[in-house]
Structure 1
Amino acid sequence: MKYIIAALALLAVLKVYAQDQIYRSATADALIAAYRNNAIAACQRDRLNQSAEFAGLAWSKPSSIALQIGRGDLGVNLWEISDTRWDAAYKQPYLVLAPADPQTNLRCTYDININVASVRRSGA
């Protein structure tokens, strides 16, 4: 009887895990599809680390677009919940684009909430 209960508990855990993964995947796909064009346009507008010619070519057909929740580069610790940047660091969705040229080490992070992108070097 113990084995049957353990097996049922394991199946319940696997079901919840599978549903969570399906939900996360579908949500990421929907956000990427909805904001893809806005992200590409915003990445092409950012001129801080790239020239106009490079921006037009590199971001017109990015090699990958991924959903990221929160930004680790904001310097906000998890326990600093009164910091005004806490939501941006841990809760807000971003799209991270890799340029078409695999030799370049640039990445573009698009903030869905404020429609702004920032292009940075991968190592920075």
Structure 2
Amino acid sequence: MRIIVIMLALLACFKVWSQDRTYRSVMGEALANAYSERALEACRKASAPRTQNARITAAAWGRETGIETTLGNADVDVAIWDTQNPLWSRRFRDPYLVLTSATAGTRCAYDVTGNTATLSN
């Protein structure tokens, strides 16, 4: 009887894990498809002051750019217990598209809710 209860608990945990994994995967793809053009444009604008050549900027943030969806921006320095900090939601809650340029070696975090982009190396 104990083995059956353990097996049922393991199956329930696997079901919850697989549903969560599937949901995050589908929502990540939907966010990437919906906001990829805006993110590319914002990253181009953010990197324009760094490079004076428009062709280099356009090549750095082209179609071959890797896009990943995340919750929160790891570059924002806020502790998880500091919930009264005004930047807490930017660090742990807001959705971000993280674009990685293969040619420039630069990472751009696009804030979906704030429509802003920040560059980091």
Regarding TM over 0.5, the answer is yes
Contact 2:65/2:100 (<8 A) preserved: yes
TM-score using structure 1 length: 0.88
Query: Does the C-alpha gap of structure 1 residues 62 and 116 become closer, same or farther in structure 2, counting only changes over 3 Å?
Result: farther
- Counterpart code for 1:24: R
1:50 corresponds to 2:51? yes
Q: Distance in 2 between matches of 1:32 and 1:10?
A: 33
Number of residue pairs the alignment of both structures matches:
119
Task: Give the RMSD, CA atoms, in angstroms.
Answer: 1.4
Q: Distance in 2 between matches of 1:108 and 1:14?
A: 34
Q: Deviations over 1:88-117 (max 9, x none)?
A: 01100110111142xx32111111112111
Q: Deviations over 1:48-94 (max 9, x none)?
A: 43333221111121331001111222211111111110100110011
Query: Does the C-alpha gap of structure 1 residues 117 and 39 become closer, same or farther in structure 2, counting only changes over 3 Å?
Result: same
Query: How do residues 57-68 of structure 1 correspond to structure 2 at under 5 angstroms?
Result: 57-68=59-70
Consecutive unaligned residues of structure 1, counting only runs of 5 or more, are none
Contact 1:69/1:93 (<8 A) preserved: yes
Match of 1:80 in 2: 82
Q: Distance in 2 between matches of 1:50 and 1:62?
A: 19
The DSSP-based 3-state class of the residue aligned with 1:77 is coil
The DSSP-based 3-state class of the residue aligned with 2:75 is helix
Match of 1:32 in 2: 32
Consecutive unaligned residues of structure 2, counting only runs of 5 or more, are none
Contact 1:61/1:99 (<8 A) preserved: no
